């Protein structure tokens, strides 16, 4: 016996309410903070990382809660209502500061440096498979970061010329993503770039220079195509 299935496909785009951006902040229970504080005081960074690895790849509520507790213990600071997908990687988490209601999608890697700075503001949404060279990085509040988007904060000098490039010194330049900016899927932000508040970086763009506030940029290299105002 065969069964015919009918599928209805909408012929037009539709607009629905934002979920993450309009979500009310829910404060985490006090025991989570106390537990995280105890872990931070009791275990070394490498031991905390080993504990975190036990819960890294599962999606049940218990594993998700344990990831939140352990990320809070690993990081310099982390606010309320943190959500982390499975498989995230944090390098030098003790240099990282996370605000309230941060979402970090699955398989995201944030690569800090032992003497670096990484500040991620409140209500920041980071899509899966993102990569951050977070040696000197500031992401302000209400930033949306598309799946697979990357930021590079350092590059090799290439000098002297007779030395393999990978063996030459690194130049670290600060990267700032301004309040309310939106970074498109698979975009790349290069070292030293400042993306202005409420700007949009198009999908797949390679951003080599500063982006003005409220600008929309796209292309390789990214150029201003219009202003949202």
Alpha-carbon dihedral sign for residues 134, 137, 141, 144: negative
Question: pLDDT at residue 54 above 60?
Answer: yes
Q: Please identify every residue annotated as catalytic.
A: 156
Confidence of residue 10 (pLDDT cuts 50, 70, 90): low
Give the pLDDT of residue 214.
98
Alpha-carbon dihedral sign for residues 73, 78, 84, 86: negative
CA–CA separation, 132 and 76 (whole Å):
17
Give the pLDDT of residue 154.
94
Confidence of residue 4 (pLDDT cuts 50, 70, 90): low
CA–CA separation, 171 and 88 (whole Å):
26
Q: For the residues of 143-181, what is the DSSP string, one character each?
A: -EE-TT-EE--EEE---STTS-GGGSPEEE--EEE-TT-
Q: What is the mean pLDDT of residues 12-28?
A: 85
Q: What is the mean pLDDT of residues 3-12?
A: 64
Question: Residue ranges of the domains in the chain?
Answer: 81-227
Give the pLDDT of residue 136.
96
CA–CA separation, 65 and 88 (whole Å):
14
Nearest 5°: phi and psi at 186?
65, 15
pLDDT tens across 82-133, in order?
A: 999 999 999 999 999 999 999 999 999 999 999 999 999 999 999 999 999 9
Question: Any residues with CB less than 8 A from the CB of 203 and at least 6 apart, and which?
Answer: 146, 184, 185, 186, 187, 218
- Find the helix packing angle between 45-55 and 30-42, rounded to 10°: 130
Give the pLDDT of residue 144.
98
Give the pLDDT of residue 174.
97
CB 186 within 8 A of CB 171: no
In this structure, which topology does domain 81-227 adopt according to CATH?
UDP N-Acetylglucosamine Acyltransferase; domain 1 (2.160.10)
Confidence of residue 143 (pLDDT cuts 50, 70, 90): very high
Q: What is the mean pLDDT of residues 29-44?
A: 96
pLDDT tens across 164-174, in order?
A: 999 999 999 99
Question: pLDDT at residue 1 above 60?
Answer: no
Task: Respond yes or no on whether the N-terminal peptide bond of residue 167 is cis (omega within 30° of 0).
Answer: no
Exposure b/e, 41-71, CB count within 10 A at least 16 = b:
eebeeeebbeebeebbeeeeeebbebbbbbb
Give the pLDDT of residue 52.
96
Q: Which of 5-9, 31-35, 48-52, 124-128 has the lowest mean pLDDT?
A: 5-9
Question: pLDDT at residue 11 above 80?
Answer: no
Question: pLDDT at residue 211 above 70?
Answer: yes
């Amino acid at each position: 016996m065969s069964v015919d299935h009918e599928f209805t496909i909408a012929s037009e785009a539709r607009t629905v309410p934002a979920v993450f951006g309009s979500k009310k902040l829910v404060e985490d229970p006090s025991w989570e903070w106390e537990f995280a504080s105890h872990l931070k005081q009791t275990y070394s960074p490498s031991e905390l990382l080993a504990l975190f690895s036990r819960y890294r790849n599962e999606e049940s509520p218990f594993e998700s809660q344990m990831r939140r507790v352990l990320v809070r213990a690993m990081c310099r600071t982390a606010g309320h209502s943190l959500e982390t997908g499975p498989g995230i990687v944090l390098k030098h988490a003790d240099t990282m500061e996370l605000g309230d209601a941060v979402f970090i999608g699955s398989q995201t890697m944030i690569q800090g440096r032992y003497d670096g700075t990484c500040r991620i503001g409140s209500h920041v949404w980071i899509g899966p498979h993102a990569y951050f060279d977070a040696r000197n990085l500031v992401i302000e509040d209400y930033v949306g970061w598309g799946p697979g988007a990357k930021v590079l904060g350092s590059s090799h000098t290439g000098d002297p010329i007779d030395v393999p490039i990978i063996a030459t010194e690194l130049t670290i330049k600060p990267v700032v993503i301004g309040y309310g900016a939106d970074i498109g899927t698979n975009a790349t932000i290069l070292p030293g770039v400042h993306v202005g508040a409420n700007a949009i970086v198009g999908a797949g763009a390679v951003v080599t220079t500063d982006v003005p506030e409220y600008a929309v940029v796209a292309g390789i290299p990214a150029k201003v195509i219009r202003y949202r105002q």
